[in-house]
Amino acid sequence: MTPLQHPPTLRCLMLLEDTTVIVTESLTKIFPGPQGPSEVLRGISLNIGKGEVFGIIGRSGAGKSTLVRCLNLLERPTSGKVWIGDQEMTALTEAELRRARHSIGMIFQHFNLLSSRTAAENIALPLELIGMPRPEIQARVSELLDLVGLRERAGAYPAALSGGQKQRVGIARALASKPSVLLCDEATSALDPETTKSILSLLKDINRSLGLTIVLITHEMPVVKEIADRVAVLDRGEVVEQGRIFDVFTQPRHAVSRAFVQEVLNRDLPEILLPRLAPPGTREPSTPVIWRITFTGPSANEPILSDLVRHFDLSFNILHGHIDYIQGLPFGTLVVEAHGPVAARDAALATLAQKNLTAEVLGHVADTAAAAA
């Protein structure tokens, strides 16, 4: 019997014995309200691997912040189970939870620093709370200040720090007790784009150097694209899609996922080119046709158009193009006018399909003379 064929609870335990570090099973959360109960999470089941950066993305109200707070039981789920490591968090007493949270760091959108404490003192706080000896605290704080690049700001109070520096203090504080899991709740939402990039770079370095599992809650798809290995898309308290970042970006299946991807990889035909498309049914099939060719992975490095010109005696007018890199793999689109006999164009489309390339027929050219010009 394979793990997927076992009952859910046993399956979760088997996965934990492998490389999975966080498991949620049928997680629900219901809040009371003046209009009646509100179900914020609806049966969330996730497996997050050891050393993985896992993104959870959703619009405001999708339930993502509630979900991350259920992982460390700051919010207790209404039903369902949570495992972190080999511990079933939902079965622990409050005293056991306090001990278990030492292995779970958390950083927040608005930093949550104590204004009366310096950067170094903020980092030291969780170590003081667990009774670590002062010399060990000082050594650990010094190490963390170096890790986040703030040694020269150790004595500065939060009011004297920039947003990026405050978040670096927050990251250092979250790492103080050497956790195996780091939960990030909208950690870059209050930062400008340049600072966001530096914080994501720091998190990526921490993930690689410490082997830390990072769960990244965000409503910004560029953040997920920059750092995550896999992503779960939340909508109205449900996971509507999850998978590798490259797969979700290049082949989003759900409307919510497609909307998020569109914000990063705009594949729409530019408005200035729309007049080139003839209204449906108004042109003969023999007129030039407009294709959008999608390149993924190794195919992005092949001379596709020159091969089509050589083998099918077609000619192309390139109208628009874009290429990006997702997890180090190229992904691009190219919009072209294809000129040539209908049979040759059909044969070229078949060849593209054989090469696992997507070619969409957007329409025929509205004005052949204008296209030629």
Q: Please report which confidence band the pLDDT of residue 28 belongs to, taking 50, 70 and 90 as the band edges.
A: very high
Q: What percent of the chain has pLDDT over 90?
A: 62
Q: Within 10 A of 210 (CB to CB), how many other CB atoms are there?
A: 16
Whether 277 and 364 have beta carbons less than 8 Å apart is answered as: yes
Mean pLDDT of 239-244: 95
Radius of gyration of the chain (CA): 26
In the three-class reduction of DSSP (H, G, I as helix; E, B as strand; rest coil), residue 17 is classed as coil
The pLDDT of residue 150: 96
Q: For residue 181, which of 50, 75, 20, 70 has the smallest C-alpha distance?
A: 50
Statement: residue 55 has pLDDT above 80: yes
Tens-place pLDDT, residues 65-93: 999 999 999 999 999 999 999 899 999 99
Specify the DSSP element, H or E, that contains 334: strand 329-339
Q: How far, in Å, CA of 6 to CA of 339, rounded?
A: 56
Q: How far, in Å, CA of 235 to CA of 239, rounded?
A: 7
> Of the ranges 184-193, 230-239, 264-273, which is most confident?
230-239
SS3 letters across the chain: CCHHHCCHHHHHHHHHCCCEEEEEEEEEEEECCCCCCEEEEEEEEEEEECCCEEEEECCCCCCHHHHHHHHCCCCCCCEEEEEECCEEHHHCCHHHHHHHHHHEEEEECCCCCCCCCCHHHHHHHHHHHCCCCHHHHHHHHHHHHHHCCCHHHCCCCHHHCCHHHHHHHHHHHHHCCCCCEEEEECCCCCCCHHHHHHHHHHHHHHHHHHCCEEEEEECCHHHHHHHCCEEEEEECCEEEEEEEHHHHHHCCCCHHHHHHHHHHCCCCCCHHHHHHECCCCCCCCCCCEEEEEEEEHHHHHCCHHHHHHHHHCCEEEEEEEEEEEECCEEEEEEEEEEECCHHHHHHHHHHHHHCCCEEEEEEEECCHHHHHC
In the three-class reduction of DSSP (H, G, I as helix; E, B as strand; rest coil), residue 55 is classed as strand
Q: Please report which confidence band the pLDDT of residue 121 belongs to, taking 50, 70 and 90 as the band edges.
A: very high
Eight-class DSSP state of 360? E
Statement: residue 297 has pLDDT above 50: yes
Which tokens hold the place of 20? 């999975």
Mean pLDDT of 147-156: 95
> b/e string for 60-70 if b means 16 or more Cβ within 10 A?
eebbbbbbbbb
Statement: residue 141 has pLDDT above 60: yes
Lowest mean pLDDT across 25-29, 177-181, 295-299: 295-299
In the three-class reduction of DSSP (H, G, I as helix; E, B as strand; rest coil), residue 131 is classed as coil
Q: How far, in Å, CA of 10 to CA of 12, rounded?
A: 5
Q: Please report which confidence band the pLDDT of residue 251 belongs to, taking 50, 70 and 90 as the band edges.
A: confident
Q: What are φ and ψ of residue 252, in 5° steps?
A: -65, 135
Query: Could you give the domains of the chain?
Result: 3-264 (3.40.50.300), 271-372 (3.30.70.260)
